[in-house]
Structure 1
Amino acid sequence: MNLPTSFATRMQQQLGAAYPQFEQALTQTPPVSIRVNAAKAQLPTDLPRVPWSASGYYLPHRPAFTLDPVLHGGAYYVQEASSMFIEQALQQSTDLSQQLHVLDLCGAPGGKSTLLAGLISEDSLLVANEVIRSRAHILAENIAKWGSGNVLVTNNDPRDLSKFSAFFDVMVVDAPCSGEGMFRKDPGAITEWSEDNVKLCAQRQQRILTEVWDALKPGGILIYSTCTWNEAENEENMAWLADREDAQSIKLALDPAWGITESSMESIQGYRFYPHLVQGEGFFMAVLRKGGTATENHTSSKKKKYKLTLAGKKEKALVENWLLAPEKYEWLQHNEIISAIPASLFEAADEVYQKLYVVYAGTEVAEVNGKKIKPLHALALSQHLNKAQFNTAELDLETALRYLRKEDISLGTSGNDWVLMQYKNLPLGWAKQIGNRINNYYPKEWRIRMELPQILTAGLELVIL
Structure 2
Amino acid sequence: MPALPQAFIDTLNGLPGYDAAAFLAVHNSPERITSVRLMPQKAQDITSVFPQLEAQRVPWTEGGYYLSSRPSFTFDPQFHSGAYYVQEASSMFLEEALRQTLPASSPLKALDLCAAPGGKSTLIQAALPAGSILVSNEVIRPRAALLADNLSRWGTPDVVVTNNDPRDFSRLENFFDLMVVDAPCSGSGLFRRDPEAVQEWSYDNVMLCSQRQQRILADALPALKPGGILIYSTCSYAREEDERLLDWLMEYDNFVSLPLQLQPEWHIVATESPVHKAAGYRFYPDKVKGEGFFIACLRKEGEAASPKKGKNKFPEIAKKDVERILPWLKPGADVRMMAHDGEVLLVAPAVAEEITLLQQLYIRKAGVKAGQLTDKELIPDHQLAMSTIISQDLPARELSLEDALHYLRREDLRVDAALKGWALMRFRDMNLGWAKILPNRVNNYYPKEMRILKSGMPET
Q: TM-score range by the shorter chain?
A: over 0.9
For the residues of structure 2 that align with 1:451 and 1:398, how far apart are their CA atoms? 12
CA pair 364-122 structure 1, distance change in 2 beyond 3 A:
farther
1:352 alignment counterpart: 358
2:10 alignment counterpart: 9
1:38 alignment counterpart: 40
- Whether 1:381 aligns to 2:386 is yes
Match of 1:369 among 374, 399, 421: 374
Deviation at 1:438, TM superposition (A): 1.2
CA pair 6-218 structure 1, distance change in 2 beyond 3 A:
same
Which amino acid counterpart does residue 389 of structure 2 have in structure 1? H
Q: Deviations over 1:277-316 (max 9, x none)?
A: 011111000000001245555x67xxx4322222223332
Deviation at 1:101, TM superposition (A): 0.3
Which amino acid counterpart does residue 257 of structure 1 have in structure 2? E
For the residues of structure 1 that align with 2:380 and 2:243, how far apart are their CA atoms? 49
Deviation at 1:5, TM superposition (A): 1.9
CA contact (8 A) 1:414 1:437 kept: no
2:243 alignment counterpart: 235
For the residues of structure 1 that align with 2:63 and 2:230, how far apart are their CA atoms? 23
- Whether 1:422 aligns to 2:426 is yes
Match of 1:252 among 246, 260, 264: 260
CA pair 179-344 structure 1, distance change in 2 beyond 3 A:
closer
Which amino acid counterpart does residue 369 of structure 2 have in structure 1? E
CA pair 452-16 structure 1, distance change in 2 beyond 3 A:
closer
CA pair 111-340 structure 1, distance change in 2 beyond 3 A:
same
Q: Which stretch of the first structure deviates more once superposed, 438-447 or 182-191?
A: 182-191
Report percent identity of matched pairs.
Answer: 45
CA contact (8 A) 2:233 2:293 kept: yes
Deviation at 1:436, TM superposition (A): 4.3
1:343 alignment counterpart: 349
CA contact (8 A) 2:173 2:222 kept: yes
Cα RMSD for the two superposed structures: 1.7
CA contact (8 A) 2:399 2:426 kept: yes
TM alignment of 1:30-179, pairs within 5 A: 30-44=32-46, 47-179=55-187
Q: Deviations over 1:123-168 (max 9, x none)?
A: 1100000001111111011101111210000000101111111000
1:318 alignment counterpart: 324
Deviation at 1:6, TM superposition (A): 1.9
For the residues of structure 2 that align with 1:278 and 1:294, how far apart are their CA atoms? 40
For the residues of structure 1 that align with 2:440 and 2:36, how far apart are their CA atoms? 39
Deviation at 1:183, TM superposition (A): 1.1
CA contact (8 A) 1:392 1:422 kept: yes
The alignment's TM-score, normalised by the length of structure 1, stands at 0.93
- Whether 1:442 aligns to 2:446 is yes
Q: Secondary structure at the match of 1:374?
A: strand
For the residues of structure 2 that align with 1:210 and 1:219, how far apart are their CA atoms? 17
CA contact (8 A) 2:16 2:271 kept: no
For the residues of structure 2 that align with 1:273 and 1:436, how far apart are their CA atoms? 58
Deviation at 1:188, TM superposition (A): 1.6
Deviation at 1:61, TM superposition (A): 1.2
Deviation at 1:336, TM superposition (A): 2.1
CA pair 127-17 structure 1, distance change in 2 beyond 3 A:
closer
CA contact (8 A) 2:395 2:419 kept: no
- Whether 1:273 aligns to 2:283 is yes
CA pair 305-407 structure 1, distance change in 2 beyond 3 A:
same
Deviation at 1:369, TM superposition (A): 2.8
Q: Secondary structure at the match of 2:58?
A: coil
For the residues of structure 1 that align with 2:450 and 2:254, how far apart are their CA atoms? 45
Which amino acid counterpart does residue 356 of structure 2 have in structure 1? D
Q: Secondary structure at the match of 2:46?
A: coil
Q: Secondary structure at the match of 2:55?
A: coil
Gaps of at least 5 residues in structure 2 are 48-53
CA pair 257-173 structure 1, distance change in 2 beyond 3 A:
same
For the residues of structure 2 that align with 1:38 and 1:164, how far apart are their CA atoms? 31
1:412 alignment counterpart: 416
Q: Deviations over 1:3-50 (max 9, x none)?
A: 222211121332688201101111223200000111101232651011
Deviation at 1:240, TM superposition (A): 1.2
CA pair 185-339 structure 1, distance change in 2 beyond 3 A:
same
Q: Secondary structure at the match of 1:328?
A: coil
1:18 alignment counterpart: 19
For the residues of structure 2 that align with 1:93 and 1:193, how far apart are their CA atoms? 34
For the residues of structure 1 that align with 2:303 and 2:98, how far apart are their CA atoms? 19
Match of 2:314 among 293, 304, 308: 308
1:463 alignment counterpart: none
Q: Which stretch of the first structure deviates more once superposed, 175-184 or 39-48?
A: 39-48
CA contact (8 A) 1:127 1:153 kept: yes
1:398 alignment counterpart: 402
Q: Secondary structure at the match of 1:364?
A: strand
Q: Secondary structure at the match of 1:387?
A: coil
